[in-house]
Amino acid sequence: MGYVTTEETKRRGRRPAGADTKTALVEAARAVFTEQGYEGATVRAIARRAGVDPAMVNHWFGGKDGLFAKAVLQLPIDPAQIVADVTAGDVDSVGDRVVRRFLTVWDSTGGGQFAALIRSVAGHEMAVTGLRELFVNGVFGPITRYAGGDGDPMLRATLVASQLIGLGMVRYVAGFDPLATADINTVAAAVGPTMQRYLTGTIT
């Protein structure tokens, strides 16, 4: 048996391609992640529930992490694109790029989506596991390896995560001024060197 049997396809009706397929996958993903948790959910199970080819998950969302980001966390970003943007360019200015990319992503949502993300982290173990996979392994890990600092790359990755999460908390959730309303150049000048040191500098 394949992922979608002929019986299933008949019963559910044939899915049109494109937007409807994406919507069906997002809805199926929400249900399966909720029922099975992040680790238990499989691309195969989600695709089966949506009545589509599992290959479409990779095609549309770049795999399980991307589907989780879109369906459950409703992030305004494509994690793979972030990594591509930040790792294109001089390693000596990666810290500055990390801060600017973080701000352009979340400033654009007015901060509401960051606050929603934090609520989901504070309330649900599933979200925590998914975020660890998505951000630590999927975003900060690759950026740290690109930067090439010595020692444990995951310590560097979680340090980067700590400063960015805290920046988001102050700017989008708590609204502590002046950092909450400072312009991007001000924040990049203040926080960029922190990122640079966590990625390439001496941390021990």
Nearer to its own copies, 4 or 116 (CB): 116
Which of 34, 186 has the CB closer to its own copies? 186
Q: Measure the CA–CA gap between 62 and 79, rounded to whole angstroms.
A: 9
Binding its own copies (rule: CB under 8 A), the pick from 29, 94, 165, 199 is 165
The residue count for binding its own copies (CB under 8 A) is 44
Q: Is 193 a residue that touches its own copies (CB under 8 A)?
A: yes
Pick the binder of its own copies from 35, 39, 150, 177 (CB under 8 A): 177
Write the binding mask 113 to 152 for its own copies: x where contact by CB under 8 A, - elsewhere: --x--xx-xxx----x--xx---x---------------x
How many angstroms separate the CA atoms of 197 and 170, rounded?
21
CA–CA distance, 165 with 167 (Å, rounded to integer): 5
Amino acid at 33: F
DSSP state string for 163-201: HHHHHHIIIIII--TTTTT--HHHHHHHHHHHHHHHHHS
Q: How many angstroms separate the CA atoms of 72 and 178, rounded?
A: 32
Residue 198 lies near its own copies (rule: CB under 8 A): yes
Under rule CB under 8 A, residue 170 binds its own copies: yes
> End-to-end CA distance of the chain, in Å?
54
Nearest CA to 114 among 30, 66, 170?
A: 170
Whether the CB-CB separation of 200 and 143 falls below 8 Å is answered with: no
> Which positions from 20 through 59 interact with its own copies, judged by CB under 8 A?
none
- Smallest gap from Cβ 128 to its own copies, in A, equals 5
80 is an interface residue for its own copies by CB under 8 A:
no
Tokens at residue 40, please? 């238990």
Q: What is the binding site for its own copies (CB under 8 A)?
A: 115, 118-119, 121-123, 128, 131-132, 136, 152, 154-155, 158-159, 161-167, 169-171, 173-180, 182, 186, 189-191, 193-194, 197-198, 203-204
